[in-house]
Amino acid sequence: MNNKHNPNTVDTDVLTDEQLEQQKMHGWDFAFSIVVMIFATCVIATSATMPFSGTVGGISTVWYESPGLLPMIIGCAMFLAGVSVFLKTTKENGKALFLKHVGQINPSGFLMAAGGILSYIFVLISWYDFFLASAVFLLFYIGLYYLDEANINKSLLKIYYSMIVLSIAIFMSGANEVINSGYPYVTDLILLATGLLLIIKMFKLGQAINIETKLKVRRMVIIALVFPAVLSPIFRYFLLVPLPNEGLVVEQVFNTTYYNYLAPARETVALDLSDEALAELDDAF
Protein backbone atom coordinates (compact mmCIF):
# COMPACT_ATOMS: atom_id res chain seq x y z
CA MET A 1 0.00 0.00 0.00
CA ASN A 2 1.41 3.39 -0.98
CA ASN A 3 1.66 5.74 2.04
CA LYS A 4 3.42 8.57 0.24
CA HIS A 5 1.81 11.93 0.86
CA ASN A 6 1.20 14.29 -2.03
CA PRO A 7 2.55 17.73 -1.00
CA ASN A 8 -0.17 19.45 -3.01
CA THR A 9 -2.97 17.84 -1.02
CA VAL A 10 -3.81 18.37 2.63
CA ASP A 11 -5.76 16.04 4.84
CA THR A 12 -8.45 18.25 6.35
CA ASP A 13 -8.93 15.77 9.19
CA VAL A 14 -5.61 16.83 10.76
CA LEU A 15 -6.00 20.57 10.17
CA THR A 16 -6.79 23.04 12.91
CA ASP A 17 -9.68 25.45 12.43
CA GLU A 18 -7.23 28.25 11.71
CA GLN A 19 -5.39 26.23 9.04
CA LEU A 20 -8.66 25.18 7.42
CA GLU A 21 -9.85 28.78 7.32
CA GLN A 22 -6.53 29.79 5.75
CA GLN A 23 -7.00 27.15 3.05
CA LYS A 24 -10.45 28.52 2.28
CA MET A 25 -9.10 32.07 2.04
CA HIS A 26 -6.39 30.93 -0.41
CA GLY A 27 -9.15 29.42 -2.53
CA TRP A 28 -11.18 32.63 -2.55
CA ASP A 29 -8.04 34.69 -3.22
CA PHE A 30 -7.46 32.58 -6.34
CA ALA A 31 -11.03 33.15 -7.56
CA PHE A 32 -11.06 36.85 -6.68
CA SER A 33 -7.74 37.45 -8.48
CA ILE A 34 -9.36 36.26 -11.72
CA VAL A 35 -12.34 38.57 -11.15
CA VAL A 36 -9.98 41.50 -10.55
CA MET A 37 -7.99 40.76 -13.73
CA ILE A 38 -11.18 40.55 -15.83
CA PHE A 39 -12.55 43.78 -14.33
CA ALA A 40 -9.20 45.55 -14.80
CA THR A 41 -9.09 44.43 -18.43
CA CYS A 42 -12.53 45.99 -18.98
CA VAL A 43 -11.36 49.24 -17.37
CA ILE A 44 -8.24 49.34 -19.56
CA ALA A 45 -10.23 48.55 -22.72
CA THR A 46 -12.78 51.27 -21.95
CA SER A 47 -10.17 53.90 -21.13
CA ALA A 48 -8.31 53.04 -24.35
CA THR A 49 -11.35 54.20 -26.34
CA MET A 50 -11.01 57.72 -24.92
CA PRO A 51 -9.00 60.22 -27.00
CA PHE A 52 -5.38 60.60 -25.88
CA SER A 53 -4.57 63.45 -28.24
CA GLY A 54 -6.21 65.60 -30.83
CA THR A 55 -7.88 68.94 -31.35
CA VAL A 56 -11.16 69.90 -29.70
CA GLY A 57 -12.73 73.30 -30.27
CA GLY A 58 -9.49 74.62 -31.77
CA ILE A 59 -7.44 73.55 -28.73
CA SER A 60 -4.79 70.85 -29.12
CA THR A 61 -4.51 68.27 -26.34
CA VAL A 62 -1.65 65.89 -25.52
CA TRP A 63 -1.69 62.38 -24.05
CA TYR A 64 -1.14 63.40 -20.42
CA GLU A 65 -4.27 65.57 -20.50
CA SER A 66 -6.52 62.71 -21.60
CA PRO A 67 -9.51 61.79 -19.37
CA GLY A 68 -8.62 58.16 -20.07
CA LEU A 69 -5.21 58.38 -18.40
CA LEU A 70 -6.37 58.03 -14.78
CA PRO A 71 -8.62 54.97 -15.35
CA MET A 72 -5.89 53.47 -17.57
CA ILE A 73 -3.31 53.70 -14.76
CA ILE A 74 -5.79 52.44 -12.15
CA GLY A 75 -6.78 49.55 -14.43
CA CYS A 76 -3.15 48.57 -15.05
CA ALA A 77 -2.40 48.71 -11.32
CA MET A 78 -5.43 46.54 -10.56
CA PHE A 79 -4.45 44.05 -13.26
CA LEU A 80 -0.90 43.76 -11.90
CA ALA A 81 -2.28 43.30 -8.39
CA GLY A 82 -4.58 40.56 -9.69
CA VAL A 83 -1.70 38.85 -11.47
CA SER A 84 0.40 39.00 -8.30
CA VAL A 85 -2.32 37.37 -6.19
CA PHE A 86 -3.05 34.83 -8.93
CA LEU A 87 0.60 33.71 -9.14
CA LYS A 88 0.94 33.55 -5.38
CA THR A 89 -2.22 31.47 -4.88
CA THR A 90 -1.32 29.23 -7.83
CA LYS A 91 1.91 28.30 -6.05
CA GLU A 92 -0.18 27.54 -2.95
CA ASN A 93 -2.51 25.27 -4.94
CA GLY A 94 -5.27 27.90 -4.89
CA LYS A 95 -7.30 26.40 -7.72
CA ALA A 96 -7.58 23.00 -6.05
CA LEU A 97 -8.37 24.61 -2.69
CA PHE A 98 -11.10 26.72 -4.27
CA LEU A 99 -12.70 23.72 -5.97
CA LYS A 100 -12.40 21.68 -2.78
CA HIS A 101 -13.94 24.22 -0.41
CA VAL A 102 -16.23 26.23 -2.71
CA GLY A 103 -19.31 24.49 -1.35
CA GLN A 104 -18.33 25.16 2.27
CA ILE A 105 -16.99 28.71 2.11
CA ASN A 106 -19.18 31.49 3.41
CA PRO A 107 -19.06 34.02 0.58
CA SER A 108 -19.93 37.00 2.81
CA GLY A 109 -16.30 38.16 2.97
CA PHE A 110 -15.97 37.86 -0.80
CA LEU A 111 -19.21 39.78 -1.34
CA MET A 112 -18.13 42.48 1.10
CA ALA A 113 -14.85 42.87 -0.79
CA ALA A 114 -16.63 43.15 -4.14
CA GLY A 115 -19.26 45.42 -2.59
CA GLY A 116 -16.54 47.74 -1.34
CA ILE A 117 -15.03 48.16 -4.81
CA LEU A 118 -18.42 48.62 -6.49
CA SER A 119 -19.54 51.16 -3.90
CA TYR A 120 -16.33 53.13 -4.43
CA ILE A 121 -16.85 53.26 -8.20
CA PHE A 122 -20.60 53.81 -8.41
CA VAL A 123 -21.29 55.73 -5.19
CA LEU A 124 -18.25 57.42 -3.67
CA ILE A 125 -16.31 58.85 -6.62
CA SER A 126 -19.52 59.39 -8.61
CA TRP A 127 -21.22 61.58 -6.01
CA TYR A 128 -18.54 62.81 -3.62
CA ASP A 129 -15.25 64.69 -3.62
CA PHE A 130 -12.49 62.44 -5.01
CA PHE A 131 -10.10 62.96 -2.09
CA LEU A 132 -12.72 62.25 0.57
CA ALA A 133 -14.09 59.26 -1.39
CA SER A 134 -10.64 57.70 -1.77
CA ALA A 135 -9.61 58.36 1.84
CA VAL A 136 -12.80 56.86 3.32
CA PHE A 137 -12.60 53.84 1.00
CA LEU A 138 -8.95 53.19 1.97
CA LEU A 139 -9.73 53.57 5.67
CA PHE A 140 -12.47 50.97 5.31
CA TYR A 141 -10.71 48.56 2.96
CA ILE A 142 -7.24 48.61 4.51
CA GLY A 143 -8.77 48.44 7.97
CA LEU A 144 -10.67 45.26 7.12
CA TYR A 145 -7.70 43.29 5.85
CA TYR A 146 -4.70 44.88 7.57
CA LEU A 147 -6.09 45.05 11.09
CA ASP A 148 -8.10 41.82 10.72
CA GLU A 149 -9.85 42.13 14.10
CA ALA A 150 -13.42 40.87 14.45
CA ASN A 151 -14.67 43.77 16.61
CA ILE A 152 -13.04 46.39 14.40
CA ASN A 153 -14.32 44.76 11.21
CA LYS A 154 -17.86 44.68 12.55
CA SER A 155 -17.74 48.41 13.34
CA LEU A 156 -16.14 49.28 9.99
CA LEU A 157 -18.80 47.38 8.06
CA LYS A 158 -21.63 48.98 10.03
CA ILE A 159 -20.32 52.55 9.63
CA TYR A 160 -19.29 52.23 5.97
CA TYR A 161 -22.41 50.53 4.64
CA SER A 162 -24.70 52.79 6.69
CA MET A 163 -23.08 55.69 4.84
CA ILE A 164 -23.55 53.90 1.49
CA VAL A 165 -27.25 53.27 2.17
CA LEU A 166 -27.73 56.89 3.28
CA SER A 167 -25.91 58.15 0.17
CA ILE A 168 -28.04 56.07 -2.18
CA ALA A 169 -31.20 57.32 -0.47
CA ILE A 170 -30.11 60.97 -0.72
CA PHE A 171 -28.79 61.02 -4.28
CA MET A 172 -31.30 58.67 -5.88
CA SER A 173 -34.20 60.65 -4.40
CA GLY A 174 -32.79 63.99 -5.54
CA ALA A 175 -32.56 65.27 -1.97
CA ASN A 176 -28.92 66.23 -2.62
CA GLU A 177 -30.09 69.17 -4.75
CA VAL A 178 -32.05 70.56 -1.81
CA ILE A 179 -29.24 69.88 0.66
CA ASN A 180 -26.64 71.55 -1.58
CA SER A 181 -28.83 74.49 -2.57
CA GLY A 182 -27.21 76.86 -0.06
CA TYR A 183 -23.64 75.55 -0.35
CA PRO A 184 -22.65 73.21 -3.21
CA TYR A 185 -20.68 70.71 -1.11
CA VAL A 186 -22.79 70.09 1.99
CA THR A 187 -23.24 66.42 1.09
CA ASP A 188 -19.45 65.98 1.18
CA LEU A 189 -19.72 66.52 4.93
CA ILE A 190 -21.31 63.04 5.08
CA LEU A 191 -18.01 61.51 3.94
CA LEU A 192 -16.00 63.80 6.19
CA ALA A 193 -18.03 62.68 9.21
CA THR A 194 -17.78 59.04 8.13
CA GLY A 195 -13.99 59.24 7.83
CA LEU A 196 -13.63 60.85 11.26
CA LEU A 197 -15.94 58.25 12.79
CA LEU A 198 -13.96 55.39 11.21
CA ILE A 199 -10.68 56.79 12.54
CA ILE A 200 -12.01 57.40 16.06
CA LYS A 201 -13.62 53.97 16.23
CA MET A 202 -10.49 52.16 15.00
CA PHE A 203 -8.23 53.98 17.45
CA LYS A 204 -10.60 53.32 20.35
CA LEU A 205 -11.02 49.60 19.60
CA GLY A 206 -7.34 49.18 18.65
CA GLN A 207 -6.20 50.67 21.95
CA ALA A 208 -8.50 48.29 23.82
CA ILE A 209 -6.90 45.27 22.08
CA ASN A 210 -3.16 45.98 22.44
CA ILE A 211 -0.47 48.56 21.68
CA GLU A 212 0.54 46.78 18.44
CA THR A 213 -2.98 47.09 17.02
CA LYS A 214 -3.04 50.76 17.96
CA LEU A 215 0.24 51.29 16.08
CA LYS A 216 -1.17 49.42 13.06
CA VAL A 217 -4.21 51.72 13.11
CA ARG A 218 -1.92 54.74 13.13
CA ARG A 219 0.09 53.44 10.16
CA MET A 220 -2.94 52.61 8.05
CA VAL A 221 -4.64 55.96 8.78
CA ILE A 222 -1.50 57.80 7.60
CA ILE A 223 -1.40 55.72 4.40
CA ALA A 224 -5.13 56.18 3.74
CA LEU A 225 -4.82 59.97 4.00
CA VAL A 226 -1.41 60.54 2.40
CA PHE A 227 -2.02 58.42 -0.71
CA PRO A 228 -5.02 60.40 -2.09
CA ALA A 229 -3.40 63.65 -0.89
CA VAL A 230 -0.43 62.90 -3.18
CA LEU A 231 -2.36 61.26 -6.03
CA SER A 232 -5.01 64.00 -6.41
CA PRO A 233 -2.62 66.95 -7.02
CA ILE A 234 -0.42 64.87 -9.36
CA PHE A 235 -3.31 64.08 -11.68
CA ARG A 236 -5.16 67.36 -11.27
CA TYR A 237 -2.33 69.89 -11.60
CA PHE A 238 0.69 68.16 -13.13
CA LEU A 239 -1.02 65.78 -15.58
CA LEU A 240 -3.99 68.16 -15.99
CA VAL A 241 -6.51 65.32 -15.71
CA PRO A 242 -9.89 66.36 -14.22
CA LEU A 243 -10.87 64.13 -11.30
CA PRO A 244 -14.21 62.26 -11.35
CA ASN A 245 -15.76 64.63 -8.83
CA GLU A 246 -14.19 67.72 -7.28
CA GLY A 247 -15.88 69.02 -4.17
CA LEU A 248 -15.21 70.06 -0.60
CA VAL A 249 -11.48 69.21 -0.58
CA VAL A 250 -10.31 69.20 -4.21
CA GLU A 251 -12.36 72.18 -5.36
CA GLN A 252 -12.41 74.27 -2.21
CA VAL A 253 -8.96 73.49 -0.76
CA PHE A 254 -6.67 72.08 -3.46
CA ASN A 255 -7.88 74.25 -6.36
CA THR A 256 -7.96 77.42 -4.27
CA THR A 257 -4.47 76.80 -2.89
CA TYR A 258 -2.95 75.87 -6.23
CA TYR A 259 -4.47 78.48 -8.50
CA ASN A 260 -4.18 81.35 -6.01
CA TYR A 261 -0.72 80.67 -4.56
CA LEU A 262 1.24 77.99 -6.45
CA ALA A 263 0.34 78.11 -10.14
CA PRO A 264 2.69 80.17 -12.33
CA ALA A 265 1.18 83.26 -13.86
CA ARG A 266 -0.01 82.67 -17.40
CA GLU A 267 -0.69 85.09 -20.18
CA THR A 268 -4.25 84.72 -21.43
CA VAL A 269 -5.19 85.10 -25.06
CA ALA A 270 -8.73 85.80 -26.14
CA LEU A 271 -10.07 83.30 -28.67
CA ASP A 272 -12.88 84.01 -31.04
CA LEU A 273 -14.55 80.59 -31.36
CA SER A 274 -17.59 79.76 -33.41
CA ASP A 275 -20.73 78.38 -31.80
CA GLU A 276 -19.88 74.96 -33.21
CA ALA A 277 -16.37 75.05 -31.73
CA LEU A 278 -17.74 76.15 -28.37
CA ALA A 279 -20.22 73.29 -28.42
CA GLU A 280 -17.42 70.80 -29.18
CA LEU A 281 -15.32 72.20 -26.35
CA ASP A 282 -18.24 72.02 -23.93
CA ASP A 283 -18.96 68.41 -24.92
CA ALA A 284 -15.31 67.46 -24.38
CA PHE A 285 -15.41 68.50 -20.74
Quick: pLDDT tens for 200-241.
Answer: 999 999 888 888 888 999 999 999 999 898 888 888 887 777
Q: What number is the average pLDDT over the span 157-185? A: 92
The pLDDT-based confidence of 165 (bands split at 50, 70, 90) is very high
Q: Are strands 59-61 and 54-56 parallel, antiparallel or unpaired?
A: antiparallel
Q: Which residues of 247-272 are buried (b: 16+ CB within 10 A; e: fewer)?
A: bbbbbbebeeeeeeeeeeeeeeeeee
Instruction: Quote the pTM value.
Output: 0.64
Q: Is the pLDDT score of 135 beyond 50?
A: yes
Of 24-33, 87-96, 170-179, which range is least confident?
24-33
Alpha helices, H only, the chain: 17-48, 69-91, 94-101, 108-119, 125-127, 130-142, 150-173, 175-179, 188-209, 211-233, 256-257, 275-284
**Do residues 258 and 251 make contact, with C-beta atoms less than 8 angstroms apart?**
no
For the CA atoms of 250, 253, 259, 261, what is the dihedral angle to 10 degrees?
A: -150
Q: Between 265 and 115, whose confidence is greater?
A: 115
